[in-house]
Structure 1
C-alpha cells in the first residue's frame, strides 16, 4: 500500500479544495482520497469567530472546570447540541462529548470538545467538523471520481497520542465483518469487525500530520479495498454491546433527555 501526501497552500474560506488536490496529484481510478475534516470545514466557511461569541452560564461553568476560554466552550456546547450530544466528563482543556449527528444510523461518536479545535485556524477562531460531512464527501467524489474518506484526529482510552478516525466516507464500505469466518486454527470469529475506513484514515494521518505540515489530504494507492456504493456516516457501536458504555454516561447533573440523547 502506498500513501501519498497532498501538500497544498494555506486553505481559506471559499478555496476550491478539489481543484487544489487535482493540481497536486494525478489520481488513478483505484485510488482512495482521505481528506481532513478541518480542511473541509475551513473552505466551507465553518470557522467561528470567538469575538462574536457570548458565553452562556453553562459555558462559563464548564470552562472553569476544564480551564478553557468560555467563548470556546460555548462553541463546543453549540456544536454538541447541534449533533444531539451530551457531556460525559471533563478534564484539563477538554469536554468529552458523546454525539449522534443527524443521519448517523448506529451508535454514537465519542470525542473531545464535540470536534471543535483552536489549532489550524486563524487566531481568535475555532474550527470544527463540516456541517454535513456526508454531502461534503459526495461533492468531492463527484469531482475527484474516486472514493473519499473524511477524517479527523482522535484520542484513545488510556493511550497517549493521537491517531485518526473516519467521520464519513463514500465509495467504500467503512466496516468489514469477520463474524463467522475461521481464524488460523479453525475457530469461528464471534465479534470481530474490521474498521476499514478508520484504519485508512489513521494510515493517511501518519503523513498528513496535525501541525503545520499543510497536508490536508492523502492518496491511498494499491490498497486492495473493494469499492462500493456506500455513502454516509461511519457507524458506531450500540450501547448495549459497547464495552466502554458505562464509562461514558452523561456527566453528573446532565440527563440524556435534556442533552439531545436519541
Structure 2
C-alpha cells in the first residue's frame, strides 16, 4: 500500500518584496527527508519583486514571446519561459488593486534557491515545486501545474516496461511534477491564504542533495514540437501571410506524401516527385494557395531561378534550417 499525504498549513503572512520564503515556511511545517515542498508562483513572484502597477493588458506585451491564439478578451501566449498560458500567467487576484503579479523570471532557479535554503538551515533533503494555474486544451476549467522544480524527477518514463498483462508500454510518461501541483491545489485552495504545501510519500522522486535535476523546463515542449503551435484561426492567417518568422510553430517539414495529399484535397490536382521535392500541376493563379499549403507543411515554393516553374507547373521543396 502507498500512502500519499498533502498538508497545506495556515498562518502564512502576506509576502512582500525581499521576503525570505524559507523563513516563512519552516515555522509552519515539520519537514522530513524526501518531502516535496510546493509553493505557488504568486508568492515567489511577490518575494522577488515581480509585482507591477497597471493591468494585465498593459503588462502582457512584455511577457509574451508570441501570441498563440486570441478569442474575444482571451489571449493565449507562449511566454519567454516557453509556457503556453492565458495572459502569460499574469495574475490580478490576491494582490493590491491596481497591480498585477508576473510569473517569476526563472521559476526553476527560484525552486533551486528555496531548496538550497531549506537544506542549509535544516540539513534536510527535499524537492521543491513552484506552481501556477493553467487551462488545458480540450478541457474546461483549470488546474495547477509545475512551472518550476528543483531536486525532483519531474516525469517518470515507463516506455519499454511491461504491464500486468504482458503489454509493452510505449509512450507512458507521467508528468509527476504536474500531478503533485494539482494535488496540492486541492489542499491549498484559491482563497485560503495557504501558498505552501508539503507532499509526503513520494521520496523516490526526490534527488540526492546537491542534484537539482532538469527542472520543470523539461516538461515544456520545444517550439515546433507541439501539434498545436497556433490556434486554428491563427494558423490559417500565418500560413497565408507566409512570414518566415512564423515557421517554427508549424514544426519540421512534413513528408512529401503528406503534402501531396493536402494539395490533392485542396487543389484537386496530383503532385509528382521532382529532384527538389514535388512538382504540382497548377498555374500561376493557384500559386498563392499552394504557397500557403507548403508553408503550413514546412515547405516553400521553388524560386523561378531554379528552373522549377514552367507553364502550368510549380515546384515546392522542404525548407532547410
TM-score of the superposition, structure 1-length normalised?
0.79
Per the TM alignment, residue 241 of structure 1 is displaced from its structure 2 partner at its CA by 5.5
Aligned partners of 1:179 and 1:190 also within 8 Å: yes
Correspondent of 1:75 among 40, 53, 59: 59
Q: RMSD of aligned C-alpha atoms?
A: 2.6
Residues 249, 93 of structure 1: alpha-carbon distance in 2 compared, 3 angstrom cutoff: closer
| Distance of 1:139 and 1:183 partners within structure 2 | 39
Unaligned runs of at least 5 residues, structure 2: 120-125, 252-321
Per the TM alignment, residue 223 of structure 1 is displaced from its structure 2 partner at its CA by 2.3
**Structure of greater relative contact order (alpha carbons < 8 Å, 6+ residues apart):** 1
Correspondent of 1:113 among 87, 100, 112: 87
Correspondent of 1:88 among 63, 68, 78: 68
Correspondent of 1:25 among 11, 21, 29: 29
Aligned partners of 1:86 and 1:259 also within 8 Å: no
Paired residue secondary structure (1:48): strand
Regions of 4+ moved over 6 Å: 258-262
Correspondent of 1:127 among 101, 119, 122: 101
Q: State the aligned residue count.
A: 231
Residues 87, 259 of structure 1: alpha-carbon distance in 2 compared, 3 angstrom cutoff: farther
Residues 183, 256 of structure 1: alpha-carbon distance in 2 compared, 3 angstrom cutoff: farther
| Distance of 1:258 and 1:39 partners within structure 2 | 35
* 1:7-22 mapped onto 2 (5 Å cutoff): 7=10, 8-22=12-26
* 1:1-262 mapped onto 2 (5 Å cutoff): 1-7=4-10, 8-50=12-54, 71-80=55-64, 85-101=65-81, 108-145=82-119, 146-210=126-190, 212-228=191-207, 229=211, 230-232=213-215, 233-238=217-222, 242-245=226-229, 247=231, 252=237, 257=245
Residues 160, 215 of structure 1: alpha-carbon distance in 2 compared, 3 angstrom cutoff: same
Aligned partners of 1:31 and 1:220 also within 8 Å: yes
| Distance of 2:50 and 2:225 partners within structure 1 | 35
Aligned partners of 2:22 and 2:117 also within 8 Å: yes
